[in-house]
Amino acid sequence: MNTGEYFQESLETISPNALQAMQSERLRNIVRHVYEQNEVMRNQIQQRGIDPENIQSVEDISALPLMNKDLFRQCYPLGLCCTAPSQLVEMHMSSGSTGTPVVMPYTTADLEQWAECMARCYRMAGARPGDPIQITPSFGLFNGGFGMYHGARAAGLFIIPTGAGNTPRQIKLAKDFGTRILTGVVSYGIRVMEVMQEMHEQLPSLKIGIFGAEVFSDSMKKKITNGLCVEVFDIYGMTETGGVGTLGMDCKAHNGIHIWEDHYFVEILKPGSEEPIPDGQQGELVVTSLTRQALPVIRFRTGDLTCILSRKTCDCGRTHVRVAPITGRVDDMLIVKGVNFFPKQIEQALMQIPGIGTNYQIIIEEIEGIQEVTVNVEAESSVTGFMVEKVLKEALGFSPKGDVYPIGKLPRQPGKAQRVFYRAKDGTLR
């Protein structure tokens, strides 16, 4: 068993030329696969007037059609599947809170690919065989718990599969079993930190925190790092790419998220167009899965905003491209008083205030045809509304309304945290 800092050293440190040759071969194979096995995908390619045999390298990828979530929902449940039903062994799906859910089916090979990507992430964070790992995402239709589990098995870790909730018990188990690695959604990492403080508990064995599924500002990372006394890693993946960790994670250099390029080819496009964005400039991440069987995505518009940080070899020795942590989503941008901003900018500003809590609300409402924003925050008694207003005005260019609440007084949602709410005319929040 490999016990070093890499899970698959030859692939994680592959040369750029060898990587491009591998990507081109895998792209040819995956385009041929979806064209032959799925009518919807075949029609999409034919409508572009493309002969799959003309796709010879990743340099030809711009000729292929783009996909988005709408196509997944139109083809619910398995209209995009590229294998026979008898080959499927597992499925996961998005929450479906905004309509028809996105379904991702898996073959045995797909689960192995998922486990491989996750195991690379664990090893990159410093996990070693036998390390106790506590998996707090739920084990159900949401892919988080199972993805963490499949990867931990492949990496040879000692799994404590707690799933979500019952935070005092989570902390007791972590203490009893000497949990070294804690995984979860970002907001649950915050909850564990809060309950530990309430219980006056410490977890001396805990060294690594791997969190994802939500936008993760640098300020919030610092708060969790200090609150849990761990090294924090930002893991990335989504239902459409096969689940948590499939795309990659940041390494110990913490200088961008490594994308596992032997499994995924990424592009940065101008939102709403097919125009490529130069490295270093922000745009929408577009992903092509090169090795998945049941449902490979071809040029999938993720809606996530990022940029290519570097294509050079990282200090950690890995050669895979690094992208910036996700700033937000294309459809998350808010426009208030003529100012464009993203919720992450508010979080980044708030977390710089000493004594500020980790729970907050951004409430958007329309008053006499004008968009107004209210920012409610939790904070210690030393934090005043004037302090919050001053910081937000500097960050946004205007002063939003809002109140300061004692720690623990704003509502919390199970699972992913909801930060942005819209107030209806009857006063209810949605």
Q: pLDDT tens-digit profile of 144-191?
A: 999 999 999 999 999 999 998 899 999 999 999 999 999 998 888 988
In tens, the pLDDT along 308-327 reads: 999 999 999 999 999 999 87
Q: Strand pairing of 231-238 and 308-310?
A: unpaired
Nearest to residue 238, comparing CAs of 142, 116, 119? 142
pLDDT of residue 370: 66
The model's pTM = 0.84
Tell me the domains of the chain and their CATH numbers. Answer: 1-329 (3.40.50.12780), 333-422 (3.30.300.30)
Q: Which residues pair with 234 in a beta bridge?
A: 211
| Closest to 1 (Cα-Cα) out of 123, 159, 117, 177 | 123
**415 phi-psi bin (left φ>0, alpha ψ -120 to 50, beta other):** left
- From the number of C-beta atoms within 10 Å of its C-beta (0-12, 13-18, 19+), residue 63 rates as middle
> What would the pLDDT profile of 364-375 be if each residue is shown by its tens digit?
887 766 678 899
- The pLDDT score that the predictor gives to residue 371 is 74
Say if residue 212 is exposed, middle or buried (CB neighbours under 10 Å; 0-12, 13-18, 19+): buried
Cis ω on the peptide bond leading into residue 77 (within 30° of 0)? yes
Task: Check residue 395 and give its pLDDT.
Answer: 83
pLDDT at 1: 44
pLDDT of residue 419: 83
Angle between helix 186-199 and helix 167-177 axes, rounded to 10 deg: 80
Long-range contacts of range 17-20, CB-CB < 8 Å, 24 or more positions apart? 19/261, 19/262, 19/319, 19/320, 20/57, 20/58
Give every residue of the chain whose pLDDT is below 70, as ranges.
1-4, 95-98, 337-338, 368-370, 414-416
